[in-house]
Amino acid sequence: MTDCVFCDIVAGLSPAARVYEDDAVVAFLDIRPLARGHTLVVPRIHSSGLADLDAPSADAVFSAGRRIAGALRRSSIGADGVNLLVNDGRAAMQTVFHHHMHVVPRWNGDKLRFAAQLLTRRPHELDEVARVVREALAHGN
Ligand code: AMP
Ligand code: ZN
């Protein structure tokens, strides 16, 4: 184990509901999701934030985020829209200091449900949701 929870997940030392991985990034479901299917994309190489993030990792994170956004729309999760979000720095509400991008599915008219979930952030059957997203990724780019 290291002192970084996302490095531990990347190394397979900590559990996570993985949905996607390639040479540069690993993506897994957020343990306290803002919505069903809320995914985090993290570079394999540790950087604490945007300032020390290498350019190829930055490209790979965005590219994976784009693909996962498509999967969240195509799959039975059925998102109508997606927020891609990076919190960079404590002032911006970053709490895990290993750079990551949030991929958050949104639905038409979900504002109230979204606001309620901001307060509760309960996990939704992570393994089942991860399976659905993986399957959609296998059938699209
Ligand atoms: P941020 O505020 O952008 O730093 O968000 C960090 C996110 O990481 C939060 O949404 C947490 O719920 C999520 N998180 C923290 N630890 C884990 C973990 N072990 N597995 C999955 N997600 C995590
Ligand atoms: Zn790390």
Token digits of residue 111 = 């504002």
Ligand at minimal distance from the CA of 104 is 1
* Dist. CA 124–CA 25, nearest whole Å: 23
What DSSP state is assigned to residue 90? G
The pTM of the full predicted model, rounded to 2 decimals, is 0.95
- At 106, which helix (H) or strand (E)? strand 101-106
Task: Kindly give the number of the ligand 1 atom that is closest to the alpha carbon of 85.
Answer: 3
**Residues 74, 124 contacting (CB under 8 angstroms):** no
pLDDT surpasses 90 at 38:
yes
Residue 123's alpha-carbon distances to 7, 25, 64, in angstroms, are: 21, 23, 22
**Is there an atom of ligand 1 within 6 Å of 94 CB?**
yes
Q: What is the pLDDT of residue 51?
A: 98
Kindly report, residue by residue over 71-95, the tens digit of the pLDDT.
999 999 999 999 999 999 999 999 9
**Number of Cβ within a 10 Å radius of residue 63:** 14
pLDDT at 108 over 80: yes
- Tell me: pLDDT of 136 over 90: yes
- 95 close to ligand 1 (CB < 6 Angstrom): yes
State yes or no: pLDDT of 119 exceeds 90: no
Question: What are the structure tokens assigned to 77, written together?
Answer: 């999760």
Q: How far is CA 65 from the centre of its chain?
A: 8
For the stretch 15-31, pLDDT in tens is 999 999 999 999 999 99
- Please give the single-letter amino acid code of residue 70: G
| Ligand 1 atom with least separation from CA of 86 | 3
CB of 42 shorter than 6 A to ligand 1? no
Asked if 29 and 16 touch (Cβ cutoff 8 Å), the reply is: yes
Contact 97, 3 (CB under 8 A): no
